[in-house]
Amino acid sequence: MTDVMVAVLVEHRGNEIAQPTLETLTLARSLGAPVAVWMGDQPPADQIERLGAYGAAEVRVVEVGDGARHAVTAAAAVGSATADASVVLMVSTFANKEIATRLALATGAGVVVDAAGAQMVNGRVETTQTVFAATWDVRTRVNADKAVVTLRPNTTQALPAETPAAPEVVSVIPLLPEVRESMVSVTPVEREDGVPLSEAPVVVSGGRGTGGDYTLVRELADVLGGAVGASRDATDEGWISHEHMVGQTGVTVTPALYVACGISGAVHHRGGMQASGTIVAVNIDPDAPIFEIADFGVVGDLNDVIPQAIAAIKAHRQG
């Protein structure tokens, strides 16, 4: 089925492609022939090469400036660049879900969001989703001729194509609609070093049980090469910024390893992390619900357990 054109909307921070896009391109290759869509200024040569390495035969560049922050404009831009594609794949983010919705309304496509995978079956896209706080697996078929799917980070392993492509770069002039909304201000979020929470292979989260001191949580995250997460109570207290909140109304994460420190495991929190590969919990209360879903739990004070674990991991590495 290599004749099916699969467009992939590239996530990039400045000029750097985000890891989930490489995962999405990898999935796209299993569905058909990938074409990358880059919203923004002309990408640099090394990034075009990178998209080629993951199988993009073409890079379509569509420039809408700050308009990209409006779902209406972004969807129109993506629509202009993907009119001939049967499948449009994006990374699951709140912004992309809105773009996907508008794109589907404009094209009659069916949408699946937060997919964990997709396959082509008898010419139709079928997706898998993990729902109800990762207690159910759902398989969905897209009935429409066009499918728009948003893919959760860390659900497909990014692998370069066997034969890299040398992508052709094409500029797309979008047809843009009138926009009713206007941006009064945009304050960029200070980016911390390292991988963003939703993309991180390891997440170490701290909750109310940290008492507001994230030193140990950060140190463990550093040692494990992961990002720092938090519960709602912790972000509400102002101990750590909102971008770190894991859960149903925060970031949904599916890392290979999730470590919950001083987090009770409320259903709202679990909804955002229960699909993680391995779950580890440290909590002083043996009855904390987080232990019901932890592969490995330690009933104890995180102020004792975490420093000892960090020291043991370091000692192990020094062999």
Partner 1 sequence: MRIVVTVKFVPDLQSQRSFTDGTVTRTAEDGTMNELDENAVEAALQLRESLPEGEGEVYAVTVGGADAVAAVRKALQLGVDHAVHVSDESIAGSDVFGTARVLAAAVHQIEKDGPVDLVITGMAALDGLTSMLPTALAAELDIAQLTLASSLTVADGTATIERHMADAHETVTAPLPALVSVTDEANKPRYPNFKLIMAARSKPVTTWSLSDIGVDPVQVGAMASRTTVIDASPRPPRQNRVTVTDKGDGGTQLAAFLVERGLA
Ligand X SMILES: Cc1cc2nc3c(=O)[nH]c(=O)nc-3n(C[C@H](O)[C@H](O)[C@H](O)COP(=O)(O)OP(=O)(O)OC[C@H]3O[C@@H](n4cnc5c(N)ncnc54)[C@H](O)[C@@H]3O)c2cc1C
Given the rule CB under 6 A, which residues bind ligand X?
111-113, 131, 207-209, 231-234, 245-250, 262-264, 266, 268-269, 272, 282-285, 288, 301-303
Size of the site for partner 1 (CB under 8 A): 89
CA-based angle 77:79:83, to the nearest 5? 135
79 binds, among partner 1, ligand X, none (CB under 5 to 8 A by kind): none
139 binds, among ligand X, partner 1, none (CB under 5 to 8 A by kind): partner 1
Tell me the C-alpha to C-alpha distance, in Å, between residue 46 and each of 33, 166, 298. Answer: 21, 11, 46
Contacting partner 1 within 92-111 (CB under 8 A): 93-95, 97-98, 100-102, 104-105, 108-111
**Using rule CB under 8 A, residue 227 touches partner 1:** no
Binding range to partner 1, per CB under 8 A, among 20-28, 44-52, 142-150, 205-213? 142-150
> What is the β-pairing status of strands 296-299 and 278-283?
parallel
170 binds, among ligand X, partner 1, none (CB under 5 to 8 A by kind): none
Taking the complex as a whole, the smallest distance from the CB of residue 79 to ligand X amounts, in Å, to 18
| Pairwise CA distance, residues 222 & 200, whole Å | 12
Rg (Cα) of the chain, in Å, rounded? 21
- Select 31 or 56, whichever has its Cβ closest to ligand X: 31
What angle, 0 to 180 degrees and rounded to 10, lies between the N-to-C axes of helices 215-224 and 302-318?
30
The 3-state DSSP class for residue 302 equals: helix
Taking the complex as a whole, the smallest distance from the CB of residue 180 to partner 1 amounts, in Å, to 4
**Using rule CB under 8 A, residue 257 touches partner 1:** yes
Neighbours of 188 (CB within 10 A): 5
**Using rule CB under 8 A, residue 319 touches partner 1:** no
| Residue selected from 57, 140, 160, 192 as contacting partner 1 according to rule CB under 8 A | 140
303 binds, among partner 1, ligand X, none (CB under 5 to 8 A by kind): ligand X
**Using rule CB under 8 A, residue 123 touches partner 1:** no
Residue 178, judged by CB atoms within 10 A of its CB (0-12, 13-18, 19+), counts as exposed
Taking the complex as a whole, the smallest distance from the CB of residue 270 to ligand X amounts, in Å, to 9
Which H helix or E strand runs over 118?
strand 110-121
Taking the complex as a whole, the smallest distance from the CB of residue 151 to ligand X amounts, in Å, to 12
Dihedral-angle region of residue 162 (phi above 0 means left; psi in -120 to 50 means alpha; beta otherwise):
alpha
